[in-house]
Structure 1
Amino acid sequence: MKSIAIWESRNDNNPFQDIELHFNYWKIPNKRKEFHRFLDIGLKLISTQNTNCINFYFPAKIEQDNFHEIVSKFINKPDLLSAIFNENYKVVSQVSKQHKILNDQDEEVFTIYEFSSNDLTFEYKYNGTIVSINLPKLNKQLYIRFRISGQFLNQLSTISTPPNSVFESAFSELEMIDFRVNEIRDLSKDLVEIYGKMCHIKKQHFFYICSNNEDVIGYHTPYLSCRNLENYRWNGYVDLPNIESAIFLAYHWKWDSQENSSLLIKSKYEKNNWNTIAKYLLLVVGISLLGSCLYDIFKLIIKLFITELK
């Protein structure tokens, strides 16, 4: 089972409503040439008047320490809020956990809900984790956003080395990211039977954010756009040290009106670090010494051979 699943728990018999999804997959290199990986998930519902909670299934164990509400990272930063939604929005806080979002004409477009740990329930079953988020009863669009880190991100990737060159495989790696949402064939039959129909995806955005030194070399669905990310704007949101001088690219995919989605991304990046460099320097020195020794032995054999001839 590899797919994420999303469904509602409702207090009426109406079918599931359409949802809008935002995924930001962050892959930030650190000084050791390794990576900080995390996935930001945003979800917008048309109405929560009859919604008890929204449920997410992840095909891995999600520890509570690896699940974070992140509205507080951007709700008081108008430039970052506008960058996340790609619109010129502003915020009016209604109550402590609800934030009304207005457009340029001061029209309300939706409400962002800043949920707390009291709104969360974790259930470990079907070889994964079901996270349920309780929502307020509102007859208007509601948006939530949270971050997943930890082992789940590693399960989305397969790492390999280039097969064509010994030296290239020593200094670079290939990564394949397989990301799926509401793929019924990849979900437990028991989960689908018990919880029924998954939410219909009205719109989905997926951003893959990585270093500019990483090359996205393959994908089964072409990306819509690629842009340079402004570090000064996203620094506090990412909340990682020493990234001010780094350059990051954001690759953007988009889907409209579908029951499920899948995305396969293949990228290539350098993995060389001081350990790798030291090993290859030792290898080069060893080959040089071996060559020198073989040369001396060859000279000695020739000299002995010439002496015997005399």
Structure 2
Amino acid sequence: MVSKERGQRHKKSAMNCIAIWCTGSPHEHHNPQIKELECHYNLWMLNNINPRQHGKLDCFLDIGVMLSHAEELSHVNIFIPDQLDRSNIQDLGLVFKNKTELVSAVFNEDYGVLVRAKEKTIEVLRTDGSISFHIYVLDLYNDVSLKSQFGGSIISIQIPEHLKNKRHYYRIRLKCSFVDHTGYIYTPPASSILEGAFFQTELVDLRFNEKRNLPSSLLEIMRQNCNVLFTKTHFFLMREASDDYIFSHKPPGGRQLEKEIWKAYVGENYSFEQITAYHWKEATPHDSFNVFVKFRSFHSSLRTIFIAIGVIIGLGIISSFLGDFLYWLINR
């Protein structure tokens, strides 16, 4: 699991943009111009309670893609600005198949679930019994290809023939250096040294399909294949409740996560006693999406306490000296 101490995640490189697009079917004589997608992102930034990892911050990103009318398509592609191998990717379709109660929790709807043995397709049912969509369980070695290109990695998901005319969904989890550095520590100016000794400011900056943040060669490939239009985007950011939300690109919704439900989804290494989910949503058609959030958390150590005490004593000595000097000037 990727984990870093909070104080070690400093400002990252400029390439912080994920790209999503589709590839047209080789049987088609032309590539589709634009494909509509619905995307879901969950960014988890949680303290690890495992004794061997205690005090570490684990970061991972869930990416979900909902696709309809894919008859002219062969693949859904995701560019990550990092060098990945298959150990960095987890298919969450299998999690839904093994723990069907998570479907309603993740999609925040009262869904039924139909799972058949030896099948990779999960039917998600509305309350009237009709099919809302299908979740596809990915075989990472046969359904997914991974290629290093454009200074990062391209994850290509092959669309199964039997789902091309159906509304269906893929969901994967990424654990990698890029995700770990979506949040980075802001270093305050010297004038804020006392505040910096006890409080830590963290900036979370993540972008999707922003053209100015993507390599030009990648943009050319996206245009030659099939650009996408996002009909809806949901972005959830999960943080410890002790981390104070200060600012974001637009105000989020928020709620506390239920411990037992979400431990089953994420794992046993996190307490979930006080985890807040912040939610941003874009429901009008858009071709890019970005999130910028600012948090502040209290932190201290013997080193920072001694530094703060030293600064206070130093300021006291300087103030006393200046006071004596001014008194001497006035009364000489």
TM (normalized to structure 1)?
0.85
* Equivalent residue number for residue 240 of structure 2: 211
* Equivalent residue number for residue 186 of structure 2: 160
- SS in structure 2 opposite 1:199? strand
Asked whether the 8 Å contact 2:17–2:209 carries over to 1, the reply is yes
Asked whether the 8 Å contact 2:97–2:115 carries over to 1, the reply is no
Q: CA deviation at 1:231?
A: 1.0
Q: 1:284 to 1:236 in 2, by over 3 A?
A: same
Q: CA deviation at 1:47?
A: 2.7
Alpha-carbon RMSD across the aligned residues, in angstroms, is 2.4
**Equivalent of 2:137, from 89, 92, 114?**
114
After alignment, is 188-197 or 160-169 more displaced? Answer: 160-169
- SS in structure 2 opposite 1:140? coil
- SS in structure 1 opposite 2:104? helix
After alignment, is 17-26 or 261-270 more displaced? Answer: 261-270
Aligned partners of 1:142, 1:46: CA distance in 2, in Å? 7
Asked whether the 8 Å contact 1:176–1:265 carries over to 2, the reply is yes
Q: 1:283 to 1:44 in 2, by over 3 A?
A: closer
The residue type paired with residue 145 of structure 2 is T
1:181 has 2:208 as partner: yes
1:135 has 2:133 as partner: no
Aligned partners of 1:184, 1:127: CA distance in 2, in Å? 15
* Equivalent residue number for residue 148 of structure 1: 174
Structure 1: segments with no counterpart, 5+ residues = 295-310
**Equivalent of 1:266, from 294, 298, 310?**
294
* Equivalent residue number for residue 67 of structure 1: 89
Q: CA deviation at 1:241?
A: 2.1
Asked whether the 8 Å contact 1:69–1:147 carries over to 2, the reply is yes
1:53 has 2:75 as partner: yes
* Equivalent residue number for residue 303 of structure 1: none
**Equivalent of 1:28, from 8, 30, 46?**
46
Aligned partners of 1:159, 1:280: CA distance in 2, in Å? 16
1:96 has 2:119 as partner: yes
**Equivalent of 1:228, from 236, 256, 260?**
256
1:241 has 2:269 as partner: yes
Aligned partners of 2:299, 2:176: CA distance in 1, in Å? 21
Asked whether the 8 Å contact 1:62–1:152 carries over to 2, the reply is no
After alignment, is 186-195 or 165-174 more displaced? Answer: 165-174
Q: CA deviation at 1:218?
A: 1.0
The residue type paired with residue 176 of structure 2 is G
After alignment, is 29-38 or 254-263 more displaced? Answer: 29-38
* Equivalent residue number for residue 328 of structure 2: none
Aligned partners of 1:76, 1:260: CA distance in 2, in Å? 33
Aligned partners of 1:170, 1:59: CA distance in 2, in Å? 33
* Equivalent residue number for residue 2 of structure 1: 16
Q: CA deviation at 1:53?
A: 1.1
Aligned partners of 1:162, 1:176: CA distance in 2, in Å? 12
Aligned partners of 1:152, 1:36: CA distance in 2, in Å? 12
TM (normalized to structure 2)?
0.79
Deviations 1:45-96, CA, capped at 9 Å, x for gaps: 0133332111001112123211110122233434321111111111112552
Asked whether the 8 Å contact 1:48–1:136 carries over to 2, the reply is no
* Equivalent residue number for residue 307 of structure 1: none
Aligned partners of 1:229, 1:212: CA distance in 2, in Å? 10
Aligned partners of 2:203, 2:74: CA distance in 1, in Å? 37
Q: CA deviation at 1:215?
A: 1.1
Deviations 1:149-172, CA, capped at 9 Å, x for gaps: 120113322212444543431232
Q: 1:43 to 1:280 in 2, by over 3 A?
A: closer
Deviations 1:122-158, CA, capped at 9 Å, x for gaps: 1111111111111212211010101011201133222
The percent identity for this pair of structures is 31
Q: CA deviation at 1:181?
A: 0.8
The residue type paired with residue 72 of structure 1 is L
Aligned partners of 1:98, 1:170: CA distance in 2, in Å? 52
* Equivalent residue number for residue 200 of structure 1: 229
Asked whether the 8 Å contact 1:205–1:252 carries over to 2, the reply is yes
Aligned partners of 2:18, 2:114: CA distance in 1, in Å? 33
- SS in structure 2 opposite 1:241? coil
Deviations 1:95-141, CA, capped at 9 Å, x for gaps: 52111110100010111000112111111111111111112122110
Q: Who wins on radius of gyration, i.e. which is larger?
A: 1
Aligned partners of 1:78, 1:121: CA distance in 2, in Å? 27
* Equivalent residue number for residue 302 of structure 1: none
